[in-house]
Amino acid sequence: MFSTTLIANMLEGIGSFRVHFFGNREAVYDYDNQAHYTYKDMAVRSDRLGGFLLEELRLTKGDRVAFVSENAIPFLDCFFMSYCSGIVMVTYNFLLGKSNLAQMVGREEPRVIFYSERCRELIEDLRETHPEIEFISIIGKRDARDRYDYDDIMDYRSSEDLEYDAPGFEDIQMLIHTGGTTGEPKAAMLSYRALFFNMISQILTCEITSKDSALVVLPFFHTAGWNISMMPTLLTGGRVIITTTFDSEKTLRIIREEKPTLMLGVETIYLALAAHSDFSRTDFSSFRWLVSGAAPIKKRTLQRYWEKGVWLLNGYGMTEIGPSNMTQPIYEMTPEQIRKKWNSVGKPMFFNNVRIVDDDGVDVPTGESGELLFRGWLTFSGYWRSDEQTEDIVRDGWVYTGDIARKDKDGFYYIIGRRKNVYISGGENIYPAEIESVIDRHPDVAIVCVIGVPDEDWGEVGKALIVLKPNRTVSKEEIRQFATERLPCIKVPRYVSFIEELPKNSIDKVDLQIVNQLYRNTGE
């Protein structure tokens, strides 16, 4: 086992090495603001943020600072700052709405919330309910009620005798939120150990070097935005390009101008790029490969990019176990093998121990399906202040993913279904139980079941199957409006169908397997 002192020195050494060895090399290009930052710049910025938080705001190791914002350079300042201070960074998905945000903030108690102008209304209630929180704007105009803005932090000069309480290997660096079976977001605790080995796994598996340039289009409130290409590339001395939000035209322009070598997206992003008029004139040859995550990608989407001479591949990972878990070993495969294995998520990456088990926890033979389990240096440290939820998926050191998989004779893995009731829309996990609990409150609804159905643009969208109370009538539009007033737009079902009854199993619960067989067709 690694000692805390050894790991603390190693983590600090990583930052020192970056600055001393290639400090004047460009590390980050903030495309939207046309701002370039060297590794030395990033070290100065993170030091100023650390000094401000520790001296001016009196934070200590283990305190949380949170972000409610689109992607921005202060996220990276905070990431590097944490390596010396032990302050934990928290990233909130601003698309989830006020109710979920209030729950998360109440549970995780951040001392500081960095926010953007876009999210100003979202945090308004928090100012009243949490007066102890320091609110600091990082994008847009400063609110008159805020004591500081981010320019104040970047002007801060800490005292020369400031001492940092360096973190240990198993200390928590980041809280990243995932959904549970109820849809309520919970915070996965990612340690310095997990994040470090995720970076090394990506570097070794994907042969990332200082010559690589990673285009980051995914939001920083998801683990993939950090751990698939951005941080591994920065660890090697490469360059990353960040944007505030994804935009098809802008992304294609960056590809033409900056010629990145790495990018991770979800199928929704790749479809949007392919549908844009600039797609045909954009040269993708600078990419070594492209990876799609979050959900299996359709073959016809892959082929659009293959025809442009770049390999777009499936990958697999989840917040609790990586996400550097599986990918196609592209450098060991012929084009024929890539085409043949198009629907595989590849093979396990470095530091992953993998099993596929049946309902009794017994390993299944090659070719048979079962639940996918992971164990190793990459896995999370549990859910924040939720031992019960942690114990629900971690047993004997193995993380039970809830995904059903099989392995073929060549060692390639395939995801064939999900044990948990969840669908993925535009790369976001959507939990039907949360939507059902809202629609169930409609006075005319007797029972509701929400499932995901295929969609060309979003991968999957919601379909609400509703049994009305006797002698009641209501329109589909009224149901959608009822849901729209109470849910974020991404969770509002695209389709609504009224049916006579829902199939039940032997213990009088809705039989989701039969429901999906009967109703998993697009349309109403």
Q: In this predicted model, what pLDDT tens digit does every residue of 398-421 receive, in sequence order? A: 999 988 888 999 999 998 766 777
Quickly state the pLDDT bin for 3 (edges 50, 70, 90): very low
The proportion of the chain whose per-residue pLDDT surpasses 70, expressed as a percent, equals 93
Helices (H), 170-266: 192-206, 223-227, 230-236, 248-258
- What is the per-residue pLDDT for 97? 81
- What is the per-residue pLDDT for 12? 55
- What is the per-residue pLDDT for 479? 95
Quickly state the pLDDT bin for 457 (edges 50, 70, 90): confident
As a whole number of angstroms, the distance between CA 185 and CA 248 comes to 29
- What is the per-residue pLDDT for 16? 61
Quickly state the pLDDT bin for 387 (edges 50, 70, 90): very high
Quickly state the pLDDT bin for 163 (edges 50, 70, 90): confident
**For residue 348, what are the β-bridge partners?**
326
The encoded tokens of residue 59 equal 């934070």
- Average of per-residue pLDDT values in the chain: 89
pLDDT at 266 over 50: yes
More confident position, 485 or 511 = 485
- What is the per-residue pLDDT for 375? 97
The encoded tokens of residue 414 equal 């395939």
pLDDT at 4 over 70: no
Cis amide bond preceding 260, omega within 30: no
- What is the per-residue pLDDT for 11? 52
Which tens digits make up the pLDDT trace of 112-148? 999 999 999 999 999 999 999 999 999 998 999 999 9
* CA dihedral (56, 62, 63, 68) positive or negative: positive
**What value does the mean pLDDT take over residues 285-292?**
93
Residue 75's φ and ψ, nearest 5 degrees, are -60, -45
- What is the end-to-end Cα distance of the chain in Å, rounded? 57
Lowest-pLDDT range of 194-203, 414-423, 475-484? 414-423
Could you tell me the domains of the chain?
Answer: 1-15+26-169 (3.40.50.12780), 192-420 (3.40.50.12780), 423-519 (3.30.300.30)
**What value does the mean pLDDT take over residues 252-280?**
95
DSSP letter for each residue of 283-303:
--TT-SEEEE-SSPPPHHHHH
pLDDT at 248 over 70: yes
- What is the per-residue pLDDT for 83? 87
Quickly state the pLDDT bin for 516 (edges 50, 70, 90): confident
As a whole number of angstroms, the distance between CA 230 and CA 174 comes to 15
- What is the per-residue pLDDT for 159? 80
User: How many of the other CB atoms lie within 10 Å of CB of 22?
Assistant: 17
Give the strand pairing for 428-430 and 423-425. antiparallel
* CA dihedral (362, 367, 368, 370) positive or negative: positive
Which tens digits make up the pLDDT trace of 321-338? 999 999 999 889 999 999
**What value does the mean pLDDT take over residues 484-510?**
84
- What is the per-residue pLDDT for 5? 42
pLDDT at 198 over 90: yes
Lowest-pLDDT range of 18-22, 37-41, 311-315? 18-22
pLDDT at 456 over 90: no
212 class by beta-carbon count within 10 Å (0-12 exposed, 13-18 middle, 19+ buried)? buried
Quickly state the pLDDT bin for 256 (edges 50, 70, 90): very high
- What is the per-residue pLDDT for 433? 76
**What value does the mean pLDDT take over residues 350-370?**
92
Q: What is the pTM of this model?
A: 0.82
Which tens digits make up the pLDDT trace of 57-88? 999 999 999 999 999 999 999 999 998 899 99
**What value does the mean pLDDT take over residues 434-461?**
89
The encoded tokens of residue 377 equal 């240096």
- What is the per-residue pLDDT for 8? 47
As a whole number of angstroms, the distance between CA 67 and CA 90 comes to 6
Collapsing DSSP states into helix, strand and coil, what is residue 450?
Answer: strand
The encoded tokens of residue 400 equal 């039970």
Quickly state the pLDDT bin for 21 (edges 50, 70, 90): confident
> For the chain, what is the total number of helices (H) and then of strands (E)?
17, 25
Do 322 and 227 meet the contact criterion of CB atoms below 8 Å apart? yes
